[in-house]
Structure 1
Amino acid sequence: MFVPWSSGTCCEAATPFATTTTAGQIFFATSYILHMLGWAFATLFVAGYTGLVRKPA
């Protein structure tokens, strides 16, 4: 079982897969980029749905 707070360092706990290989680094970078895009699109969706961003009259 993976427990993120069990390790002494945050970076080792946050990455339970091998980032020493090229495939691991590509996976980590792709995962990070997709995660950030997901948050960006979710933020834009909520802003548009709630009407926080309006066209100037």
Structure 2
Amino acid sequence: MLHVVPLGDAVEHTADDDCVCGPTAKPITRDDGSIGWLMIHHSLDGRELTEDDQ
């Protein structure tokens, strides 16, 4: 499982499912066809309101 954590956020994130931000799990298909999980942590400083999707 890979965690994507926002840097410089208002809170410190923990690399687990119980993080205060309520991370979202996203299934990712690996090159060998197996499924891995990407845990996407959410910022709590509101940056998503001003950032564009890339």
Q: Calculate the TM-score normalised by the size of structure 1.
A: 0.20
Q: Calculate the TM-score normalised by the size of structure 2.
A: 0.20
Q: By percentage of residues, which structure has more helix?
A: 1
Q: By percentage of residues, which structure has more strand?
A: 2
**If you compute each CA radius of gyration, which structure gives the higher value, 1 or 2?**
1
